């Protein structure tokens, strides 16, 4: 990358350490600055200081209320979901909804295509 190119910033919110770390490493490898958070509340506390270009949220790490707050940031949000999170998932204008089981590469491909 050249010195003047802007690097996209992606927030990853996932309650599980290894999927979060592996996705972060994959995105960094693809030239994206990725920041990991354990819970949506942790990411929300950072919204006043900085804004990402995209947010990936595993819905096990967020309540419906927290997801609503993430959308208020005005950036695309990708959901990673399973059946238990489905009751309220259709209420939001997701950039993409990825269903578990899914590979780290598939998530990274989706992120890359959305930024």
Q: How many domains does the chain have?
A: 1
Give the residue-averaged pLDDT of 53-59. 97
pTM of the entire structure? 0.92
DSSP at 15: S
Confidence of residue 86 (pLDDT cuts 50, 70, 90): low
Nearest to 114 by CA among 32, 43, 1: 32
Within-domain flag for 67:
yes
Within-domain flag for 59:
yes
Residue the block writes with tokens 């950072």 = 46
The domain that holds 44 is classified in CATH as 3.40.50.2300
Strands in 33-37's sheet, in edge-to-edge order, are 33-37, 9-13, 54-58, 77-81, 96-99
Q: What pLDDT score was predicted for residue 1?
A: 45
Per the structure, the complete domain to which residue 33 belongs is given by 9-114
Q: DSSP 3-state assignment of 2? A: coil
Within-domain flag for 21:
yes
Within-domain flag for 1:
no
pLDDT (tens digit per residue) in 15-31: 999 999 999 999 999 99
């Amino acid at each position: 990358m050249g010195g003047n190119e802007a690097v996209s910033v992606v927030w990853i919110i996932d309650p599980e350490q290894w999927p979060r770390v592996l996705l972060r490493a994959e995105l960094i490898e693809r030239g994206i600055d990725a920041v990991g958070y354990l819970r949506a509340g942790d990411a929300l506390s950072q919204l006043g200081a900085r804004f990402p270009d995209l947010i990936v949220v595993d819905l096990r790490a967020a309540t419906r209320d927290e997801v609503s707050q993430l959308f208020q940031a005005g950036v695309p949000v990708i959901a990673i979901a399973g059946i238990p999170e489905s009751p309220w998932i259709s209420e939001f204008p997701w950039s993409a909804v990825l269903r578990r089981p899914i590979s780290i590469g598939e998530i990274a491909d989706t992120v890359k295509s959305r930024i």
